[in-house]
Amino acid sequence: MKVAIGSDHAGFKLKEIIINYLKRKKIELKDFGAYSEESVDYPDYAYPVAKAVADKEFDRGILICGSGVGVTITANKVKGIRAVNAYDTYTAKQSREHGNCNVLTLAGRKLTKAKATKIVDVWLKTEFSGDERHLRRLNKIEPLE
């Protein structure tokens, strides 16, 4: 699995934690920035990650800002992206099983290291169920893009 990851300044510390976690798990990744806690604008990092996932350069994407909301909004503007702001493992699992979400967003200022890594772990391990009812719903969303 190849993962694209990015953050703004508010998500930088958590991004570094997640990068180290993914490396320990031997998951291939690319860091799209930001590269410090110096103030930046989240769309400048969220869009390239989402675009790379939509273009199939990466299997999944992870984005982090202060609340996770700004990067979620930005990523969901890209055709083919289904981004979820997961705040617990249940949401992460459901987003994959039912929504086939391909971008995970996290709240850098709200999640602990332990909680964030659990969310990432569950999200990466969970596959889309492929259930007919979920496919039907996703097929209704696609034309709206």
Has residue 93 got a pLDDT over 90? yes
26-40 per-position pLDDT tens digit: 999 999 999 999 999
Residue 48 identity (one-letter amino acid): P
Q: Given this model, what pLDDT does residue 115 score? A: 98
Please state which CATH number belongs to domain 2-144: 3.40.1400.10
Q: Given this model, what pLDDT does residue 144 score? A: 87
User: Which residue is listed with tokens 């332990």?
Assistant: 114
- pLDDT > 70: what percent of the chain? 100
Q: Given this model, what pLDDT does residue 120 score? A: 98
Given a contact cutoff of 8 angstroms between Cβ atoms, the answer to whether 61 and 103 are in contact is: yes
Rounded alpha-carbon distances, angstroms, from residue 112 to 9, 14, 129: 17, 8, 29
The per-residue pLDDT of the chain, averaged, comes to 97
| Residue 50: count of CB within 10 angstroms of its CB | 30
Residue 135 identity (one-letter amino acid): L
11-70 per-position pLDDT tens digit: 999 999 999 999 999 999 999 999 999 999 999 999 999 999 999 999 999 999 999 999
Kindly report which listed range (70-79, 109-118, 132-141) carries the lowest average pLDDT score. 132-141
Would you please indicate which residues are annotated as catalytic (active-site) residues? 65, 98
